[in-house]
Structure 1
Amino acid sequence: MYDDILLATDGERGSENATAHAIRLAALHDAMLHVLFVVDSDVYSAYSGDEYVDEREGPEHGLEEVGEDTLAAVRERAADHGVEVVETLQHGRPHEEIVDYADENGIDLIVLGTRRHPTEYRSLLGSVTDRVVRLADQAVTVVKTEVE
């Protein structure tokens, strides 16, 4: 049913259950698991970075390190289940990069995590998950993680 599954993750607790779900699905369907971490360009471009002399020390570099660590952790978990992984770290607006990656790589299913946010947060900022659900042509599975 699924040959290529995309797990889009930010490495936060809201992605924990989605990661486990995506790995189980990939193992069940003998599918390739694509894991995508997007370094949000809006986050680091909004930051002046005045206290950084070397631009590699700025927030962009820190976000890349988080992304690399996140991809490595998913790869290790997937290997425990015999699931092959394609790891990708990209820069851009997360919802756009996720949808574009899915379109360009023949993805059958996108798996995303979500967690509960206060109503005020959602009304002001929305969420990457909400945007992907609205924009993607592929099936999208949203997996909730309760965060205390």
Structure 2
Amino acid sequence: MYQNVLVPVNGTEISETAIPHALELAEKHDAVIHALCAYNREGGYGSLSIESAQRQEEDLQDRAQEIATAVADRAEDEGIEAVSAVSSGDPADSILDYIDEKDIDIVAIGARKRSPTGKLLFGSVTQTVLLHANIPVVVTGSTE
């Protein structure tokens, strides 16, 4: 049923909640896990020199690659084929573009948390993906 499972990650506990669900889906369907870390350069680089801005961009990209690679390595340790990817720009747009470009079948994505009344609170990225993805989206979150 599913051949490609996307798990967008950013190194937060919230995004980590989606990883076990993505792994389970991939294992059950013998699918490939795609670990995507999309980052946004908030506010630009202001008065930084060109060299400093380039160094900061490289640092962001390196950190994003570490995050995505860690998830892919975890999947491979469990015998699941995995791909790691990094994207710069608006995270929601990056996720939606990746879905189209890589023929993703399902997304497992983390949400903020549950409110005291039990209502799931969605972040803007999760909400945008939910509203605009033309594939199933599994939303996970903490139980706090």
Higher relative contact order (CA 8 A, sep 6+): 1
Q: Which residue of 2 aligns with 1:93?
A: 90
The CA distance in 2 between the partners of 1:143 and 1:49, in whole Å, is: 39
Structure 1 equivalent of residue 136 of structure 2: 139
In 2, Cα distance between equivalents of 1:130 and 1:62: 28
Unaligned runs of 5+ in 1: 119-125
Write 1 or 2 for the structure with the bigger share of helix: 1
Residue 49 of structure 1: how far off its partner (Å): 4.7
TM-score, L = length of structure 2 = 0.84
> Are the equivalent residues in 1 in contact too, given 2:65–2:85 (CA < 8 A)?
no
Partner Cα separation in structure 2 for residue 62 and residue 116 of structure 1: 29
Given candidates 118, 123, 127, the residue that maps to 2:124 is 127
TM-score, normalising length from structure 1?
0.82
Cα deviations by residue, 1:22-54 (Å, 9 ceiling, x for unpaired): 11211111001111111214x152x41537853
Q: Render the CA deviation track for 1:2-33: whole Å, top value 9, x for unaligned.
A: 11111111111111120121112111110011
1:37-94 CA deviation, whole Å, 9 max, x = no partner? 11214x152x415378532332x33321221111121022101210111111111111
SS at match of 1:65: helix
Q: Does 1:111 align with 2:112?
A: no
